[in-house]
């Protein structure tokens, strides 16, 4: 199973999707993406945290300090209402994009 | 919005956020390590693997920080700190700029604020527009004039007071005060009790008047004791400014008054010399006794009141009065009937009246002149700053080029320079406020106009001046800064070759600025010089007579004399009686020790038409009577006899046809010829009926302007008789004394009382004082000009000296080279002077051309001074040349004195 590099611009959408399932911390988000994609998608910390900070600035996610599973202090992120709306719109765009590309590729 | 909050939070709680980020990264790292350990790695290796996998932590942090930073604000703070460091390093430059700014901003603000308080918005309070002054349209010496109101009008106005929010009135008071054996007349005001409240004027100490404190008067003199409010000046002079002044006593006119309040220093209403205010009851209407309309009435309109409503109300009052006082009966009705349209009342906002009264259109023009001066001062200030900024940037070329080479980015550099200018602007502004405050205090001592509010800094003006000054630096300083980056990089870096070569282009730009500075200064100084000369001329105008030690005593017949009888025989008797009284009076006055001369004078109104015998032409003239003494009036007043002779014994009396005419009348009636021997008759204006008397001219005298240099002069003819009718103006006696005329006032009054016990208290004026008071606007203006002009002088001198001196100093190295190569010291000096003379010469020429063109606009302001008057311009040129000469010579001398080796080494 080779790992494929993330398509630029899709990281935000993935993060939002993951957080939609419940709030978690940075390590947890990276883990979930890996698990959900069957380890095909790997998120570099170098891209994850800047993305998280950026999205927090834009108001799509909010953060709160809490205790992790091992009782360590960690910053938990959760989706905001704006974030939820953003997720929906990005999902729609993605679906349309995929369908279009698929159509082109399948055309004979 | 959330973004903004996050960023603000990031700005202020930076440390916190950094710590949080650290912690978050650490947590992630630990989890990773733990995951590796779970996968079977030994702990150390796990940690290394985790760190390697994590990537560049610092880079992450940097990226995160970028997300947070309020980048530009931080840079601004950085710029500020850098700017302040720069200023500390070159204190001379900083001082120069701040001083220039302070002077420019401060002086303009002071002058314009003063104008605002005295001319534009003289009344305090927000309701100022609703305060309106009323009066009668009177007729004085043939011209319509706005006077106050007479007692019946005042009484009638009381009946309509409900239409207004408030009504009040005031009159001038002149009450005798004795101290030791010297008697003086103290000027003050009789005011209605609501006077201060209506004007919104509050006392500095104590209180103003209550409504039941009115003092009964008789003939404008107090009959009983009562309360008094004194002026700041009196408080200082008589009570030494002691806070215990309330309750103390003042003796006036034989009565004792208790001080209940002191007004602040700026309150000088109704006129500048008012020393006290007394609460007054309106004078009772006494049958047969006519009082001149001297009462000024002020009303405050209701908030929704309109001037047109006032028109209607006043017309109603006037009409009713006209019908109550029919014009064929002696008394006010007859008096009003003499006016062209009967009794008419005028009204205008107090502010307008204030502006008109304080010198009429004179002050409007003054305003224009001062504004123009202010504009020039600001321009000169801007030119100074521009030059200084440019010079500075030139100096810093080296440093700026290095920074550019290191990749700072031109925009950032510009922002840096902008910040510096802004900081200087703020510093200059703060200093400017201090200068403005001091300037206003200075102006307040000069200001002789009546005022209702204190002179204070008007912050709008300050703001505008600040804005202008803060934008000049960047504007002029940044233009060449753009060029610095683009071209001179390599040259500036190789500083050792620089000196006379690099910076040449900037130098010519700066030379241009020097030219601008010089020409602006020339124009400004010429203009100010012209205006000053004009004011000085106005103050020294020959009034046509000799006003030294001269008193005018305006008589008022009283008692039985007040009522003019109807029978002609009775009238003749009364006239004869009056004549004898007047003759006696003048005779007795002449006998008083200390009196040099006395004469009688009475002007007539309305004007008449003189019908010339030669061709029947008519000229409007005024008639005047000079009493039965031979030429005593002309001699007493010191009026020169220009042709022919004055009255001799045979010319006196009703039956004589001899008249003396004024110079204006002679040139109006018989232009180009001698008036002696010419004849004319008179007719009332508007009537064709010519009076039978034929008058023959025996002499011509000069015109007089006893009320000031801009008093309107009428053609006048004089006859040597006392009295022939019982209407018209009261007679006046002129008395010239050996010494100070005020010392004799008491005696004169006593003699008057002895001669005719029925005569009412006379109104005495001192000729010099009247003339002086008429010029108060001019004097204020002159003082303003002097102050402002001096500031402009200093600014220009500082600016021009600074730029020229700097240019010369910059060439130190070049001069050193020349000297080392063997040039003579004097030769080098001459070189410098010649180079400096270039822009200065051009500037002066441009300035002269400019002033010739611009001073045209000043013509309306100039009094007997041509806009092309050479003295003013010559003065300006002389001043500039001396400054420029010094500016070139001194630093050049210093430069040539240095050892050439040292000069070569300077940067």
Give CA separation, B373 vs B348, B449, B516, B538, in Å: 31, 21, 16, 20
Residue B363: band (very low, low, confident or very high) from pLDDT cuts 50, 70, 90: low
pLDDT, position B502: 41
Closest residue in B to A70 (Cα–Cα): B31
DSSP string, B682-740: EEETT--PBPS--EEEEEEE----TT-TTPPP--EEEES-S-S-S-SSPPEEEEEESS-
For B808-822, letters b (16+ CB in 10 Å) and e give bebbbbbbbbbbeee
Record: contact B6-A50, CB cut-off 8 A: no
Q: Determine which of B171-175, B395-399, B820-824 has the lowest per-residue pLDDT on average.
A: B395-399
Taking CB atoms and an 8 Å cutoff, what residues of chain A touch B32? 27
Closest residue in B to A47 (Cα–Cα): B60
Q: Rounded to an integer, what distance in angstroms lies between the CA atom of residue B682 and that of residue B691? A: 6
Q: Is A81 on the interface with B (CB under 8 A)?
A: no
pLDDT digits (tens, 9 = 90+) for B610-659: 888 777 777 777 777 777 666 678 888 888 888 888 887 777 777 778 88
| H, E, C per residue of B295-318 | EEEEEECCCCCCHHHHHHHHHHHH
pLDDT, position B867: 72
Beta pairing partners, B862: none
CB B449 within 8 A of CB B358: yes
pLDDT digits (tens, 9 = 90+) for B550-572: 888 888 765 555 556 667 777 77
pLDDT, position B501: 41
Show the DSSP H helices in B129-231 as ranges.
151-158, 195-199
ipTM computed for the complex: 0.79
What integer is the mean pLDDT of A82-96?
92
Q: Rounded to an integer, what distance in angstroms lies between the CA atom of residue B680 and that of residue B838? A: 69
pLDDT, position A47: 80
What integer is the mean pLDDT of B172-188?
72
Q: Has residue A92 got a pLDDT over 90? A: yes
Nearest CB among A44, A59, A75 relative to B24 is that of A75
Alpha-carbon gap: A82 to the closest alpha carbon of chain B (Å): 12
Taking CB atoms and an 8 Å cutoff, what residues of chain A touch B63? 49-50, 53
Q: Is A68 on the interface with B (CB under 8 A)?
A: yes
Closest residue in A to B69 (Cα–Cα): A57
CB B355 within 8 A of CB B364: yes
Q: Has residue B836 got a pLDDT over 70? A: yes
pLDDT, position B496: 41
Record: contact B24-A68, CB cut-off 8 A: no
Q: Is A42 on the interface with B (CB under 8 A)?
A: no
Record: contact A50-B24, CB cut-off 8 A: no
How many other C-beta atoms can be found within 10 angstroms of the C-beta atom of residue A85? 12
**Which one, of B133, B197, B192, lies nearest residue B351 by Cα?**
B133
- Helix, coil or strand: residue B463: helix
The answer for residues whose C-beta is within 8 angstroms of residue B703's C-beta and 6 or more apart is B544, B662, B663, B664, B713, B716
Look at chain B and count its residues: 907
Record: contact A53-B59, CB cut-off 8 A: no
Q: Rounded to an integer, what distance in angstroms lies between the CA atom of residue B320 and that of residue B324? A: 6
Peptide bond into B270 cis (omega under 30): yes
CB B895 within 8 A of CB B808: yes
Q: Is A27 on the interface with B (CB under 8 A)?
A: yes
Residue with tokens 């008394």: B331
pLDDT, position B903: 62
Percent of chain B with pLDDT over 90: 2
State residue B159 phi and psi, 5-degree precision.
-75, -15
How many other C-beta atoms can be found within 10 angstroms of the C-beta atom of residue A40? 12
- Helix, coil or strand: residue B278: strand
Residue B286 burial by Cβ neighbours in a 10 Å radius (0-12, 13-18, 19+): exposed
Q: Determine which of A46-50, A67-71, B471-475, B495-499 has the lowest per-residue pLDDT on average.
A: B495-499
Q: Which of B20, B56, B67, B70 best probes binding to A when mutated, by most A CB atoms within 10 angstroms?
A: B67
Q: Which of A11, A12, A26, A27 best probes binding to B when mutated, by most B CB atoms within 10 angstroms?
A: A27
Beta pairing partners, B553: B733, B764
CB B43 within 8 A of CB B33: yes
Q: Is A64 on the interface with B (CB under 8 A)?
A: no
CB B627 within 8 A of CB B633: yes
**Which one, of B707, B763, B779, B773, lies nearest residue B273 by Cα?**
B773
Return the structure tokens found at B131. 């305060």
**Which one, of A3, A9, A50, A1, lies nearest residue B61 by Cα?**
A50
Residues of B with CB under 8 A from a CB of A: 2-3, 6-7, 20, 23-25, 27-28, 30-32, 34, 53-56, 59-60, 63-64, 67-68
Beta pairing partners, B612: B680
pLDDT, position B500: 41
pLDDT, position B487: 47
Record: contact A50-B67, CB cut-off 8 A: yes
What integer is the mean pLDDT of A29-46?
83
Q: Has residue B490 got a pLDDT over 60? A: no
Record: contact A27-B20, CB cut-off 8 A: no
Peptide bond into B606 cis (omega under 30): yes
CB B552 within 8 A of CB B734: yes
| H, E, C per residue of B194-261 | CHHHHHCCCCCEECCCCCCCCECEECCEECCCEEEEECHHHHHHHHCCCHHHCCCEEEECCEEEEEEE
pLDDT digits (tens, 9 = 90+) for B397-411: 777 777 777 777 777
Beta pairing partners, B683: B609, B690
Alpha-carbon gap: B28 to the closest alpha carbon of chain A (Å): 5
What's the distance, CA B440 to chain centroid? 11
Record: contact A45-B28, CB cut-off 8 A: yes
Q: Determine which of A45-49, B123-127, B263-267, B842-846 has the lowest per-residue pLDDT on average.
A: B123-127
Record: contact B3-A72, CB cut-off 8 A: no
What integer is the mean pLDDT of B867-885?
82
**Which one, of B552, B555, B587, lies nearest residue B761 by Cα?**
B555
**Which one, of A95, A57, A92, A93, lies nearest residue A77 by Cα?**
A57
Record: contact A49-B64, CB cut-off 8 A: yes
Percent of chain B with pLDDT over 70: 80
**Which one, of B475, B518, B450, lies nearest residue B231 by Cα?**
B450
More confident residue, B852 or B567: B852
Record: contact A59-B34, CB cut-off 8 A: no
- CA torsion sign for B439, B440, B442, B443 is positive
Closest residue in B to A51 (Cα–Cα): B64
Q: Rounded to an integer, what distance in angstroms lies between the CA atom of residue B340 and that of residue B145? A: 12
More confident residue, B778 or B224: B224
CB B545 within 8 A of CB B638: yes
Taking CB atoms and an 8 Å cutoff, what residues of chain A touch B50? none
Nearest CB among B3, B6, B59 relative to A46 is that of B59
CB B517 within 8 A of CB B799: yes
For B87-102, letters b (16+ CB in 10 Å) and e give beeeeebbebbbbbbb
Nearest CB among A50, A53, A68 relative to B27 is that of A68
pLDDT, position B476: 61
Alpha-carbon gap: B489 to the closest alpha carbon of chain A (Å): 39
pLDDT, position B310: 86
Taking CB atoms and an 8 Å cutoff, what residues of chain B touch A65? 20
Residue with tokens 């009246």: B353
Record: contact A75-B67, CB cut-off 8 A: no
Q: Has residue B366 got a pLDDT over 50? A: yes
Q: Rounded to an integer, what distance in angstroms lies between the CA atom of residue B256 and that of residue B120? A: 40
Taking CB atoms and an 8 Å cutoff, what residues of chain A touch B23? 73, 75
Q: Has residue B727 got a pLDDT over 70? A: no
pLDDT, position B449: 58
Taking CB atoms and an 8 Å cutoff, what residues of chain B touch A76? none
Q: Rounded to an integer, what distance in angstroms lies between the CA atom of residue B80 and that of residue B746? A: 73
Pairing outcome for strands B205-206 and B182-191: unpaired
pLDDT, position B794: 83
Q: Has residue B606 got a pLDDT over 70? A: no
Nearest CB among B3, B24, B27 relative to A57 is that of B3
Alpha-carbon gap: B411 to the closest alpha carbon of chain A (Å): 27
Q: Rounded to an integer, what distance in angstroms lies between the CA atom of residue B907 and that of residue B904? A: 8
Record: contact B55-A44, CB cut-off 8 A: yes
Q: Which helix (H) or strand (E) holds A64?
A: strand A61-67
Q: Rounded to an integer, what distance in angstroms lies between the CA atom of residue B221 and that of residue B760? A: 11
Beta pairing partners, B682: B610
Taking CB atoms and an 8 Å cutoff, what residues of chain A touch B56? 46
Residue B478: band (very low, low, confident or very high) from pLDDT cuts 50, 70, 90: low
CB B774 within 8 A of CB B868: no
The answer for residues whose C-beta is within 8 angstroms of residue B775's C-beta and 6 or more apart is B538, B539, B708, B709
Q: Which of B4, B5, B27 best probes binding to A when mutated, by most A CB atoms within 10 angstroms?
A: B27
Question: How many pairs of residues across A and B have Cβ atoms under 8 Å apart?
Answer: 57
Show the DSSP H helices in A1-108 as ranges.
11-20, 26-36, 45-58, 81-106
Record: contact A45-B53, CB cut-off 8 A: yes
Residue with tokens 């650490």: B26
pLDDT digits (tens, 9 = 90+) for B87-98: 888 787 788 888
pLDDT, position A96: 93
- Helix, coil or strand: residue B246: coil
Strands (E), B361-508: none
Residue with tokens 């400054």: B883
Percent of chain A with pLDDT over 90: 34
What integer is the mean pLDDT of B364-373?
72
CB B535 within 8 A of CB B785: yes
Closest residue in A to B61 (Cα–Cα): A50
Q: Rounded to an integer, what distance in angstroms lies between the CA atom of residue B544 and that of residue B639? A: 6
Q: Has residue B437 got a pLDDT over 70? A: yes
pLDDT, position B851: 84
DSSP string, B507-529: HHHHHHHHHHHHHHHHHHHHHHH
How many other C-beta atoms can be found within 10 angstroms of the C-beta atom of residue B790? 12
DSSP letter assigned to residue B500: S
Q: Has residue B828 got a pLDDT over 70? A: yes
Nearest CB among A26, A56, A59 relative to B28 is that of A26
CB B755 within 8 A of CB B590: no
Record: contact B67-A45, CB cut-off 8 A: no
Alpha-carbon gap: B5 to the closest alpha carbon of chain A (Å): 9
Alpha-carbon gap: B407 to the closest alpha carbon of chain A (Å): 27
Closest residue in B to A52 (Cα–Cα): B64
Record: contact B67-A49, CB cut-off 8 A: no
B142-156, B517-531, B549-563 — most confident range: B517-531
Taking CB atoms and an 8 Å cutoff, what residues of chain B touch A67? none
Average pLDDT for chain B: 78
pLDDT, position B230: 92
Alpha-carbon gap: B66 to the closest alpha carbon of chain A (Å): 10
Q: Rounded to an integer, what distance in angstroms lies between the CA atom of residue B90 and that of residue B456? A: 35
Return the structure tokens found at A95. 């679906």
pLDDT, position B504: 47
The reported pTM is 0.62
Record: contact B24-A26, CB cut-off 8 A: yes
pLDDT, position B337: 74
pLDDT, position B227: 92
What integer is the mean pLDDT of B781-810?
78
Q: Has residue B151 got a pLDDT over 60? A: yes
């Amino acid at each position: 199973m080779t790992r494929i590099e993330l398509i630029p611009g899709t990281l935000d959408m993935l993060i939002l999707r993951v957080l939609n399932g419940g709030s978690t911390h940075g390590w947890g988000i990276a883990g979930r993406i890996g698990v959900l994609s069957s380890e095909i998608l790997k998120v570099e910390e170098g891209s994850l945290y800047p993305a998280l900070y950026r999205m927090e600035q834009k108001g799509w996610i909010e953060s709160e300090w809490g205790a992790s599973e091992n009782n360590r202090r960690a910053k938990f992120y959760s989706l905001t209402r704006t974030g939820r709306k953003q997720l929906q719109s990005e999902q729609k765009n993605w679906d349309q994009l995929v369908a279009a590309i698929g159509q082109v590729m399948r055309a004979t | 919005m959330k973004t903004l909050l996050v960023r603000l939070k990031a700005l202020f709680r930076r440390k916190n956020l950094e710590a949080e980020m650290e912690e978050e990264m650490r947590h992630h790292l630990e989890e990773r390590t733990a995951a590796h350990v779970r996968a079977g790695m030994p702990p150390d290796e796990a940690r290394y693997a985790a760190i390697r996998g994590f990537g560049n932590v610092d880079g992450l942090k940097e990226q995160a920080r970028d997300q947070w930073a309020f980048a530009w604000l931080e840079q601004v703070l950085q710029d500020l700190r850098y700017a302040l460091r720069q200023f500390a390093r070159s204190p001379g430059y900083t001082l120069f700029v701040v001083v220039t700014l302070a002077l420019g901003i401060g002086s303009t603000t002071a002058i314009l604020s003063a104008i605002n308080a005295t001319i534009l918005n003289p009344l305090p309070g927000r309701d100022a527009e609703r305060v309106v002054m009323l009066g009668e349209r009177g007729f004085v010496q043939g011209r319509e004039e706005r006077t106050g109101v007479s007692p019946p009008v005042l009484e009638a106005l009381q009946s309509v007071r409900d239409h207004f929010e408030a009504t009040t009135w005031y009159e001038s008071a002149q009450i005798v005060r004795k101290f030791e054996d010297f008697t003086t007349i103290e000027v003050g005001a009789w005011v209605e009790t609501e006077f201060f409240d209506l004007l919104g004027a509050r006392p500095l100490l104590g209180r103003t008047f209550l409504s039941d404190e009115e003092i009964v008067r008789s003939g404008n003199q107090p009959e009983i004791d009562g309360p008094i409010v004194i002026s700041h000046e009196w408080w200082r002079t008589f009570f030494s400014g002691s806070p215990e002044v309330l309750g103390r006593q003042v003796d006036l006119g034989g009565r004792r008054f208790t001080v209940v309040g002191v007004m602040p220093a700026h309150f000088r209403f109704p006129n500048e010399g008012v020393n006290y205010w007394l609460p007054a009851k309106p004078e009772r209407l006494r049958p047969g006794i006519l009082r001149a309309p001297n009462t000024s009435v002020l009303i405050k309109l209701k908030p929704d009141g309109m001037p047109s409503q006032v028109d209607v109300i006043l017309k109603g009052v006037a009409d009713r009065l006209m019908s109550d006082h029919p014009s064929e009966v002696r008394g006010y009705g007859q008096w009003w009937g003499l006016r062209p349209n009967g009794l008419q009342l005028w009204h205008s906002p107090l502010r307008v009246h204030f502006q008109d009264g304080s010198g009429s259109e004179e002050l409007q023009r003054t305003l224009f002149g001062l504004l123009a001066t202010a504009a020039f001062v600001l321009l000169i200030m801007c030119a100074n700053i521009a030059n200084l900024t440019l010079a500075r940037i030139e100096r810093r070329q080296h440093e700026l080029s290095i920074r550019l080479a290191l990749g700072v980015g031109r925009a950032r550099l510009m922002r840096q320079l902008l910040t510096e200018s802004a900081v200087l602007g703020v510093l200059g502004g703060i200093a400017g406020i201090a200068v403005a405050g001091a300037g206003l205090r200075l102006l307040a001592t000069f200001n002789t106009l009546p005022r209702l509010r204190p002179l204070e800094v008007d912050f709008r003006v300050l703001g505008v001046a600040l804005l202008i000054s803060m934008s000049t630096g960047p504007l002029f300083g940044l233009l060449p800064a753009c060029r610095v980056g683009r071209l001179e990089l390599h040259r500036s870096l190789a500083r050792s070759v620089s000196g006379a070569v690099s910076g040449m282009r900037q130098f010519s730009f700066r030379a241009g600025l020097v030219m601008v500075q010089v020409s602006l200064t020339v124009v400004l100084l010429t203009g100010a010089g012209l205006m000053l000369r004009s004011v000085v001329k106005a103050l020294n105008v020959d009034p046509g007579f000799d006003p030294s030690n001269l008193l005018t005593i305006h008589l008022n017949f009283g008692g039985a004399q007040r009522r003019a009888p109807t029978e002609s025989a009775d009238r003749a008797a009364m006239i004869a009686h009056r004549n004898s009284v007047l003759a006696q009076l003048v005779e007795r006055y002449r006998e008083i020790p200390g009196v040099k001369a006395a004469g009688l004078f009475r002007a007539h109104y309305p004007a008449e038409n003189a019908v010339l015998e030669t061709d029947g032409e008519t000229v409007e003239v005024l008639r005047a009577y000079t009493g039965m003494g031979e030429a005593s009036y002309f001699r007493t007043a010191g009026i020169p006899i220009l042709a022919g002779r004055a009255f001799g014994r045979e010319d006196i009396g009703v039956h004589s046809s001899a008249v003396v005419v004024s110079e204006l009348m002679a040139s109006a009636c018989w232009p180009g010829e001698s008036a002696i021997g010419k004849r004319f008759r008179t007719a009332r204006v508007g009537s064709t009926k010519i009076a039978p008397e034929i008058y023959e001219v025996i002499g011509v005298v000069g015109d007089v302007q006893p009320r000031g240099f801009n008093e309107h002069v009428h053609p006048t003819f004089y006859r040597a008789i006392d009295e022939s009718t019982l209407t018209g103006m009261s007679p006046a006696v002129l008395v010239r004394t050996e010494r100070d005329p005020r010392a004799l006032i008491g005696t004169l009054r006593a003699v008057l009382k002895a001669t005719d016990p029925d005569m009412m208290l006379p109104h005495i004026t001192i000729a010099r004082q009247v003339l002086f008071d008429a010029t108060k606007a001019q004097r204020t203006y002159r003082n303003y000009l002097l102050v402002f002009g001096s500031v402009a002088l200093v600014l220009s001198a500082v600016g021009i000296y600074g730029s020229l001196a700097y240019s010369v100093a910059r060439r130190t190295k070049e001069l050193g080279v020349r000297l080392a190569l063997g040039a003579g010291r004097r030769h080098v000096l001459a070189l410098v002077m010649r180079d400096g003379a270039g822009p200065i010469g051009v500037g002066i020429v441009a300035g002269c051309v400019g002033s010739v063109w611009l001073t045209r606009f000043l013509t309306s302001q100039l009094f007997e001074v041509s806009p092309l008057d050479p003295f003013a311009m010559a003065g300006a040129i002389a001043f500039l040349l001396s400054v420029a000469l010094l500016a070139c010579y001194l630093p050049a001398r210093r430069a040539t004195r240095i050892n050439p080796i040292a000069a070569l080494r300077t940067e």
